[in-house]
Structure 1
Amino acid sequence: MKQNLRLTRSEKEIMDKFWEKEEGFTCSEIVDASPDRSWRKSSAHLLINALLKKGFLEVSGFKKSAKNYARVFKAKFSYTDYAIKIIMAGSTDDNIRKLIYKLINEATLEELEEMKMIVE
């Protein structure tokens, strides 16, 4: 089954929290980490469930929260991996080749040396 790579604006904002911190969050922690958003916990739960279904998040454990235990979620892959998946999904082999050539032509000598070590 092909993964749905499209994210709504709100889903992307939640994923950005996971990608920025590179750690797990409970639903309440996501709401608390987003003071600029007016998400309620119920809205955040819906978004997290959508991200679980799309394969962006996974349950990584449980954390005691007041009297109950809450699921801890973490990103299944990094933002870099997501960006690569987006590029690969919408590109032909020729376009990918052109992108690689463009990256090489604009890279610094240090970056080229690093790329060479990776390739070797």
Structure 2
Amino acid sequence: MIPSTNLTSSEYEILTLLWSNPDGLTAKEINMQKRVELWKDSSVHLILDKMLKRQLVAVGGLERSGKTYSRVFKAAITPEQYALMQVKRNAVYFKDKRIKGLFSALVDSDEISLETIDEIEKLLKKKKDES
């Protein structure tokens, strides 16, 4: 299931850290890798608990930390799922009339390679054949 809600900047920052660390991170490791200022430990736990409830992160295990155990968090959604979530949210807002415009903007972008265009064509053909 892909959550359909907006992410706060803190949630997005945590997800980007987890995406770049597929083995997962503890709350303390997340705080230590944070790019700007450190959060209070209680703040990290509150954010992670909220993200757990929203199914944005999952507990991937436990790691011994001194005399206690710490939960290891992993991203429950991929960067691609997050991008899809954003596109769907905006498509609903614009009453689905902007999907064509989105594809047009992607294709017109200087950053898209011919290889990527070929892959998109294959995906669209596969979807069309399934229908």
TM-score (norm 2): 0.77
Give the residue type in structure 2 aligned to 1:42.
S
Give the residue type in structure 2 aligned to 1:100.
F
Backbone CA RMSD of aligned residues: 2.3
Identity in percent = 31
Aligned to 1:9: 9
Aligned mates of 1:65, 1:26 — CA distance in 2: 10
Indicate if the aligned counterparts of 1:63 and 1:72 stay in contact, CA closer than 8 A: yes
What's the CA shift for 1:21? 2.6
Within 5 A, what are the aligned runs for 1:79-118?
79-91=79-91, 92-106=95-109, 107-118=112-123
**Cα distance 1:103–1:24, how it changes in 2: closer, same or farther (>3 A)?**
same
Aligned length: 120
Give the 4+ runs in structure 1 shifted more than 6 A. none
Indicate if the aligned counterparts of 1:4 and 1:54 stay in contact, CA closer than 8 A: no
Match of 2:6, SS state, is coil
Aligned mates of 1:12, 1:102 — CA distance in 2: 24
What's the CA shift for 1:105? 4.1
Within 5 A, what are the aligned runs for 1:58-73?
58-73=58-73
Aligned to 1:21: 21
Gaps of 5+ in 2: 127-131
**Cα distance 1:105–1:38, how it changes in 2: closer, same or farther (>3 A)?**
closer
